[in-house]
Structure formats: C-alpha cells, structure tokens
Structure 1
Amino acid sequence: MGIATSRKDTRAEVRQLIAAERRELADLLDGLRAEQWESPSLCGGWRVREVAAHMSMGFRLSLPATLGQLATARGNLHRMTDRVARRDAAAHSGAELAAFLREGAYHPWTPPVGGFPAALGHDVVHGLDITVALGLDRRVPEDRLRVLLDGIRPSGLRFFGVDLSGVRLCAEDLDWSYGSGSAVYGTGQDLLLLAFGRRLPSGRLRGETSGRFTR
C-alpha cells in the first residue's frame, strides 16, 4: 500500500519484476536450515515461517475463503492475516511454503490498495523481513527498488505509521533521497524497510536521527 508506479513502469513490466522476486525468494527459502525457519523476522511476533506463509496467502485463498476468514476476525484485517499466517505456518513444511511462492509467481493478486506496485512492495519487503533478520546478504535488484522507492508517498508512510518529520532519507548505494531535514543514510533496501514501518537492527543506518528507526 502507498506505492504508486512511475510513468515509465508499465503493468507488464512490474508483473515481470514481481514474478522474478517470487521465484528468487522461493529459491532462497528452499535453502534455509530448519532452525532458520523458526527464527524471528522483522515482522513483530512472526517467525520466518509465518512471513513465508503470509506471502502466498493472497493467491492461495479464494475470495470466499478470504471473506470468511475476515468475518471470523470481525472485520479486522490485521487479526485475520495474523491468524491465517500462524495457521498455515503450522500446517505446511518449509518446502511447501517455498513451492506456493514459486507456483504463484505470475498470480495477479494485489493488495486492496496500490495495484501491482503494491504487490511488488509486499513481496520485496517481506523478503527483506526474512533476509535482514537472518543476516543474509541478499541484494534486491535495483530495478525493483526503484519502482518502490520512487513510489513512496506521505499516504503510504502514514499507513505504516512512519514519521519522517525533519528527516531526509539518503541512499548510499543509489542516487535517491526523500524528505527534508537531518540526513539518515543507509542502503536503498534498508531505507525501503524503514518507509514500510520496520525497525532495523542497529548499525544499518547512519545519521543523528537514525536511532529513531533502529531496534
């Protein structure tokens, strides 16, 4: 949510980026050790297993099943997604969760707001929730990051509860910045995580106000 595609990025191009991201993340999940599946992610309260289960929920559940789960959660989307992620994480093996993601590479699912750029953001950020928490040095390709970083809007920051007042985000590995004020430096993908409301491990950001965004 909160991501708007730039004019140069067509729907077809973004869908290709989504498919590539899902396939690569599926390959990465296939290589995780048993203990890594049980490790905490950057998503509060979720292990790697729950994040992986959540990533494919949108294209595994039919619309009636989704509406049924939402009704059970009394209309609370966050409660519903948490319940389904925990249920499916317990019901499926790591190999099955990776396969769901790979098989859904071209599925047209999108979040309720934001279209295909938001779907790309969903995949990229949840992938980083896993890799950053596990200390894996996976670099998201620049073309995918560009779509997401260039699409950051105040409405998206509000949705994720991110306060950038008096802060300018400055990527150290890309020609990109956002906001105004005291500079916070980091890689483009770490700044993307920040913009999606994640608190990063200490040492990944620099700048006087960087402590506002780290654990």
Structure 2
Amino acid sequence: MTDQPRRPAVMDPDQVWQVIDAQRRCLADLLEGLSDEQWRQPSLCTGWTVRDVAAHLTQQQLGLRDLLATLARWRGSLDRTIQEAARRRAAAVPTGQIVAEIRATVGSRRHTLGVTRLETLIDILVHSQDIAIPLGCRHDMPPTAAAVAATRVLSMRWPPPAPATRAVTGFRLTATDTPWSAGQGPQVHGPMAALLLVCTGRHAALPQLAGPGAADLTARLTAPART
C-alpha cells in the first residue's frame, strides 16, 4: 500500500447529528431484540456488561445538576466514576425504559455539559460496538463518521489521552475504506471502524489490522500493564 497524503475527514454539525441519530435508532432496535442473558453478557469495556453500557448511553445529556450529583460519588478517577454511575443506572432502570430513553434521544441535539457533539459521536459509535461485537450482532459504523471520531480521539488533550491513544503514537494509521490517515511511523492499515476501536482501546479489532507495524502495535497494546 502506498502512503499518499489524505485529506482529513470533515462533517458539518448537521451531518454529525444525523449519524448520531441513525446510530441511536439502530442500537435501540438491536437492544429491543436481546434476551435477558444477552443483557448480562460482558461488553468490550472491561468490567462493563451490555446492560451497563446501554445504561451509560442514557446519560449523554447531563446538565450541571446531574454532573454535580455524579461527581459527588467520586471513585478516584473519571473512568471509575462514570462506570459506577452507569452501574447504578443499570440496576435502577427497567430494560424497556433503557431502550426507550435511548430511542427518545433521536432528534435531540443536547449533549452533556462540558463536551461537544464530537464526544457524543465517539460515544455512540464506540459503545454501540462494545455491545454488538461480543454478541455477534452486526451494527454498521459509517467510515467517514468513524474518521471524524478518530481524529477527535487522537487530538484531545483533556481529559488526558487513554493508554490506547498514547500507544498508537509512533505508527502511521491508514484507513482502507475512506481517505484518512494519522501519525508517523510503521504503517498500520485496516477498516476505519477498526482503527477507531483500536484507538479507544478495543483489542477485539486488532485482528482486522495489517501492515508492517501491525504486529508491533498489537504487542504494545496487549502488553501487561506495569505496576
């Protein structure tokens, strides 16, 4: 594969919200058909069940009061605090209500205080796959939207980048299904959805990657954490 310059993916606000709406609608349809056992299955998020992830997606429009209530239950890090909030929500809300609340966000352009529509896009794209992939369900991710989301993931400085985001530094990531690339170093290429998932720490997408740097990237991402 030749490494040619590629234009950054661009979507205007209307296009971003259209993708968010479509992803929410399709995810609600998928969730409606799950059995009780499937709701209890582990997701791609370590320590999160499918139900936890779905409950988290009902918490994407938090205002100041909601945020203060969440932070009042601080668990030592933002990730642990968010996970605990999702677990409480999952335990408190009936399955049908979780699905109905996700579906009710279709058409809304509200987002949690302190984030932008791009973080909302990242959340719905990645968390939908967190649910679908371990269940063996198909949930398509638009490549252009995935490219916009990945660009945002790799450029964010607050909150601090996740370990997986830091790990991809030093590699040239190139999509095979949309004009997108990022970084410098050994070439790693694959579907845009897989690249986004890898950038956000989802190791399940690693087998979809290829190129001279793929083995080294896989080793870096899957190496045991140092204590």
Q: Is the 8 A contact 1:56 1:100 kept in 2?
A: yes
Which 10-residue stretch deviates more, 31-40 or 158-167? 158-167
Query: How many angstroms apart in 1 are the aligned matches of 2:196 and 2:185?
Result: 18
Query: How many angstroms apart in 2 are the aligned matches of 1:214 and 1:129?
Result: 18
Question: So what's the TM-score if we normalise by structure 1?
Answer: 0.83
Query: How many angstroms apart in 1 are the aligned matches of 2:9 and 2:171?
Result: 27
Give the CA deviation at 1:76.
Answer: 4.5
Matched residue count: 209
1:192 maps to what in 2? Answer: 196
2:28 maps to what in 1? Answer: 26
User: 2:123 aligned with 1:122, yes or no?
Assistant: yes
1:95 maps to what in 2? Answer: 96
Letter in 1 for 2:121: L
Unpaired runs of 5+ in structure 1?
A: 1-5
Letter in 1 for 2:39: W
Question: So what's the TM-score if we normalise by structure 2?
Answer: 0.79
Letter in 2 for 1:58: Q
CA root-mean-square deviation: 2.7
Give the CA deviation at 1:171.
Answer: 2.1
Unpaired runs of 5+ in structure 2?
A: 1-7
Moved runs in structure 1, 4+ residues, more than 6 A?
Answer: none
Which 10-residue stretch deviates more, 178-187 or 106-115? 106-115
Query: How many angstroms apart in 1 are the aligned matches of 2:197 and 2:157?
Result: 12
Alignment of 1:56-75 (within 5 A): 56-59=58-61, 62-73=63-74
Which 10-residue stretch deviates more, 37-46 or 87-96? 87-96
Query: How many angstroms apart in 1 are the aligned matches of 2:10 and 2:179?
Result: 17
Letter in 2 for 1:86: R
Query: How many angstroms apart in 1 are the aligned matches of 2:157 and 2:137?
Result: 27
Q: Is the 8 A contact 2:9 2:147 kept in 1?
A: no
2:174 maps to what in 1? Answer: 170
Alignment of 1:145-184 (within 5 A): 145-155=146-156, 159-161=161-163, 162=165, 163-184=167-188
1:42 maps to what in 2? Answer: 44
Query: How many angstroms apart in 1 are the aligned matches of 2:76 and 2:206?
Result: 36
SS of corresponding position for 2:173? strand
Letter in 1 for 2:54: A
Give the CA deviation at 1:137.
Answer: 2.8
Q: Is the 8 A contact 1:73 1:80 kept in 2?
A: yes
Alignment of 1:2-17 (within 5 A): 8-17=10-19
Identity %: 35
SS of corresponding position for 2:187? strand
1:208 maps to what in 2? Answer: 215
